[in-house]
Chains A and B, each alone.
Chain A
Amino acid sequence: AQSVTQLGSHVSVSEGALVLLRCNYSSSVPPYLFWYVQYPNQGLQLLLKYTSAATLVKGINGFEAEFKKSETSFHLTKPSAHMSDAAEYFCAVSASGGTSYGKLTFGQGTILTVHP
């Protein structure tokens, strides 16, 4: 069984400030981890994914995330927020083995607001 918890349903930052969106997971097997972004009235788009190759993963639009096994965390960061980063962000986990591929378990989502 696997689960994801995103801490904070809403995060608000000023333009140019650090963005930190928190994600903790649980998984009985080594996980694959994903961050997706959803803009209003659109589907989800992949930001980045962790597949065990490297613990620090770089994604699109300047985002990155670090896999910390000891903390079971996969927090998303961006050094300097831009107005265009305002969206809802979802962390998701997939079990690495068997027939679980694609059966992602999603967190509850975090709405990011960026103030001028």
Chain B
Amino acid sequence: NAGVTQTPKFQVLKTGQSMTLQCAQDMNHNSMYWYRQDPGMGLRLIYYSASEGTTDKGEVPNGYNVSRLNKREFSLRLESAAPSQTSVYFCASSESTANSPLHFGNGTRLTVT
């Protein structure tokens, strides 16, 4: 059982380049999320999708866009990467109730030079 799969695992970009982080889940969850993790700051929500066809901004959406391609897949796009976007990015999914835990992928480590 794969759970939540993220690709790529590592990426190095130059300032101004673009890229898309891919995420897929096989647990039939309605809700999916993108978080970024920075040292000493915990995880911060970038965007989330409560269900297929809907997306909403989280705490730190600037510089990012998302697409909920179908129920399984939720991608995160950086149109013009900046050094401040150097981080570890986690995708997660959950059932659509407030007490449902998040299931996380293993993360994408992104460096922008």
Contact = CB atoms under 8 A, between A and B. Distances in A.
A binds B: yes
Chain A, interface size: which category? Answer: 20 to 34
Given A102-B33, A103-B48, A103-B58, A44 B102 contact: yes
B104 A45 contact: yes
B40 A102 contact: no
Interface residues of B, number: 27
Contact of A108 (B35, B41, B50, B107): B41
B94 A101 contact: yes
A49 B103 CA distance: 13
Interface string A62-90: 00000000000000000000000000001
A28 interface: no
Given A43-B4, A101-B94, A103-B45, 13 more contacts: A4-B42, A32-B99, A41-B107, A42-B107, A43-B104, A43-B105, A44-B92, A95-B98, A97-B98, A103-B48, A103-B58, A104-B43, A106-B44
B100 interface: yes
A100 B4 CA distance: 21
B25 interface: no
